[in-house]
Structure 1
Amino acid sequence: IAGALIIDLLVFHRKAHVIGIREAAVESAIWIGLGLAFTGVIAWMFAGQGEGTSSAVEYLSGYLIEKSLSVDNVFVWAMIFAHFKVPREYQHRTLFWGIFGALVLRFVFILVGVAVITRFQFLLLVFGIFLIYTGVKIFKSGEDEGDPSEMRTMKLFRRFVPSVDHYDGQKMFTRVNGHRMATPLLAVLVVIEVSDVIFAVDSVPAVLAVSREQFIVFASNAFAILGLRALYFLLADMRERFVYMPHTISFLLIYVGVKMSIAIWYHIPVPISLGIIITALTVGIVASVIKDRSEKA
């Protein structure tokens, strides 16, 4: 996992650039392939204990569950990047460190266990309501075109951390008159990490329900999360190319918000959530294509 992260950052994405749909599709296929191939590694590792097959099934089940649940993160990232007006060429590096932090946090969560995690389930309701509000706001007014320096989140961040309003390439910190100042990318990274903590409260217990072997749970979480960056750029590209994608993302944010808000009392089955997400994306894309063709006709 560490080797894959190093190669991804230092070889394939050493320089900042806009990731296109073809590159994102290839990367998605590679990460999914690695995740599925690791099933064989799990089977080999636990074969000596006579649990090779059962452990492989546990890993694959955990991987598919986490992959499905983690799709929610993609739409929250889209909201965060749009909110902070992060240039496309800087988003991959930010997500790299965001996912690196997410892996560390997931590892801690898995070690601590479900008992402690469930004590913070009230945060699901708080974050869910926020997502519903954001989804409704996007649906009513479309993309937020305000000045990033005037956003409430930026004002709150500047209150605690000395920062500037402008980006300085991919840097999290810059120097102004000899003083070390945070750039908006650091604020974005903090928000991404906080959002992952909230999602982990929901997803980690789901995987722990499949397996109690910590290595299997962490590996399934890690490989599912690692491919999310490429998936984000696939969906982000769709968001720019298809006119109804903002409406689709608005609907999905509202759905994810409702799902998280009621999670304390009722967990919507993963197949249903995945079906709703796929259906919404399909409807949004098809409707956009039909509209585009009708305008060109």
Structure 2
Amino acid sequence: MRFLSRRLPITRSIESGAFFIKKDGLRFATPLLVVLMVETTDVVFAADSIPAILAITCNTFVVFTSSVFALLGLWALHFALASLLQLFHYLHYGLALNLVFIGGKTLLEHVLPLSMPLSLGIVGAILLLSMVASLLWPKQE
């Protein structure tokens, strides 16, 4: 809200359920516009996760429901992950390696097909190893 209020005149209260209002001849954005912008980023990130889901399964029901759950829980997951990154300082390397694995699996699906349980096992093992590495070799302060 602070970032946008430096660039746009924004009212502090929601008025008449509109995204923009006119006050004293000037046009102001309302907090509803900020909410709309945040939710738009949620939709973009949920759509961005579809290739990762397709790397695991081609079942349309699973792809659809995981996209819906991504929309519902993206912010909660973000804050949970942010706190985990402070606790497990090697976790970001594990997440990056998982992205590389899923991207490679997607590209090589026709050459080297992997089963869903094996793919999920690899993803889980990478995350687990990065968390164990963080505990074995603590971050130097």
TM-score (norm 2): 0.55
Alignment root-mean-square deviation, CA: 4.5
Residue 98 of structure 2: aligned partner: 252
Which of 2, 8, 27 matches 1:178?
Answer: 27
Q: In structure 2, do the counterparts of structure 1 residues 273 and 234 end up closer, same or farther at CA, with 3 Å as the change threshold?
A: farther
5 Å-filtered alignment, 1:40-59, equals none
Q: Which residue identity is paired with 2:27?
A: G
Q: Distance in 1 between matches of 2:67 and 2:58?
A: 14
Higher relative contact order (CA 8 A, sep 6+): 1
Structure number with the higher helix fraction is 1
Deviations 1:182-229 (A, max 9, x none): 5452441242242245456x2797336xxxxxxxx47x9638964883
* Residues 148-187 of structure 1 mapped to structure 2, 5 A cutoff: 175=20, 177-180=26-29, 182-183=33-34, 184-187=37-40
Count of residue pairs brought into register by the alignment: 120
Question: In the aligned structure 1, how far is the partner of 2:91 from the partner of 2:56?
Answer: 29
Amino acid at match of 1:238: L
Which whole-Å CA distance do the structure 2 matches of 1:242 and 1:179 have between them? Answer: 43
Among candidates 192, 198, 213, match of residue 45 of structure 2: 192
Q: Deviations over 1:68-127 (max 9, x none)?
A: xxxxxxxxxxxxxxxxxxxxxxxxxxxxxxxxxxxxxxxxxxxxxxxxxxxxxxxxxxxx
Residue 101 (structure 2) pairs with residue 276 (structure 1) = no
Rounded to whole Å, the distance in 1 between the matches of 2:57 and 2:121 is 21
Q: TM-score, normalised by structure 1?
A: 0.30
- Amino acid across the alignment from 2:59: V
User: Counterparts of 1:271 and 1:205 in 2: how far apart (Å)?
Assistant: 10
Percent identity over the alignment is 19
- Which protein is bigger by CA-based radius of gyration? 2
SS in 2 for 1:206: coil
Deviation at 1:289, TM superposition (A): 1.0
- Distance between the aligned counterparts of 1:204 and 1:288, measured in 2? 27
Q: Secondary structure, in 3 states, of the residue corresponding to 1:268?
A: coil
Structure 2 unaligned spans of 5+ = 12-17
Give, in angstroms, the shift of residue 231 of structure 1: 6.1
